[in-house]
């Protein structure tokens, strides 16, 4: 195995066409294989989608609604050209943004009982 590795290193160092072929095999071939695997495994069956949407759990539906609301809020801020850097600053500090425009950043509440109970262990 070590001999094959040395041969590969020597060939890629000494031959530009071999290097380009090797780089293509290592980069393009996995991408093409991955694309075709995704095409084969993805389903655009409308009946299946309708069935899954009809039988979705309530928390899944609520999460989708919350995501749509957040996306609409964020896109609205972008359209109004508001400064959204405070979102990232708040996230880095472990804080969350509120929907109250007068108080955009709300700290995460501290736990009152910092000691774990014996039942929680």
Model confidence pLDDT, tens digit, residues 28-66: 999 999 999 999 888 788 898 889 889 999 999 999 998
Quick check: pTM over 0.85?
no
Instruction: Report the C-alpha gap between 17 and 13 in whole angstroms.
Output: 10
Supply the pLDDT for residue 22: 92
| Paired tokens of 92 | 């880095």
Supply the pLDDT for residue 28: 93
111 phi/psi in degrees, rounded to 5: -75, 130
Question: Does residue 40 sit in helix, strand or coil?
Answer: helix
Model confidence pLDDT, tens digit, residues 63-116: 999 889 888 888 888 888 877 777 777 778 887 766 555 555 556 667 666 555
Supply the pLDDT for residue 16: 94
Contact 108, 120 (CB under 8 A): no
Supply the pLDDT for residue 83: 76
């Amino acid at each position: 195995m070590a001999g094959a590795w040395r041969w590969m290193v020597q060939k890629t160092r000494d031959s530009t066409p071999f290097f380009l072929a090797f780089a293509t095999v290592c980069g393009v071939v996995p991408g093409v294989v991955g694309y075709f695997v995704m095409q084969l495994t993805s389903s655009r069956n409308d009946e299946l989608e309708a069935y899954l949407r009809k039988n979705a759990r309530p928390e899944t539906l609520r999460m989708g609604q919350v995501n749509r609301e957040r996306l609409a809020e964020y896109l609205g801020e972008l359209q109004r050209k508001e400064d959204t850097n405070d979102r990232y600053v708040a996230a880095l500090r472990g804080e969350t943004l509120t929907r109250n425009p007068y108080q955009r950043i709300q700290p995460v509440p501290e736990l009152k009982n910092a000691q774990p109970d014996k039942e929680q262990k």
